[in-house]
Amino acid sequence: MTPSCSMRSRAVAARGGGCEFPGCGRPPSWSEVHHVVGWQEGGPTALQNLVMACRVHHRLLHHSEWIVRIRDGLPEFVPPGWIDPERRPRRKPLPHLVAS
Ligand SMILES: [Zn+2]
């Protein structure tokens, strides 16, 4: 891993506080960087193209019909039609906006 790569990982971790999948609370140390547009398809390794996902949700994004995209600088997750026929995007509440 190059220094710039680890810096980007930290920036993504700082935004999401770990896995950014709605309802998931796994910390950054359990999470991996997922490219919204795969680097094989020309997606950049840039904050607007990266989300943190734990191993379970990273696999889900690659092997199911869940879609992740960045809107207004934050990731939103679109469920498969069998979970939500209207496929309404879901977001994880930001940690500093959640009452504890
Ligand atoms: Zn997760």
3-class SS letters over the chain: CCHHHHHHHHHHHHHHCCCCCCCCCCCHHHEEEEECCCHHHCCCCCHHHEEEEEHHHHHHHHHCCCEEEEECCEEEEECCCCCCCCCCCECCCCHHHCCC
Ligand 1 centre distance from Cα of residue 59 (Å): 10
Q: pLDDT tens across 54-97, in order?
A: 999 999 999 999 999 999 888 999 999 999 999 999 998 766 66
Ligand 1 centre distance from Cα of residue 40 (Å): 23
Domains and CATH numbers, the chain: 3-91 (1.10.30)
Q: pLDDT tens across 22-54, in order?
A: 999 999 899 999 999 987 889 888 888 999 999
Which residue shows structure tokens 């997606």? 43
Ligand 1 centre distance from Cα of residue 30 (Å): 9
Highest mean pLDDT among 5-9, 10-14, 37-41, 52-56: 52-56
At 99 the pLDDT is 59
Q: How far apart are CA 78 and CA 81, in angstroms?
A: 9
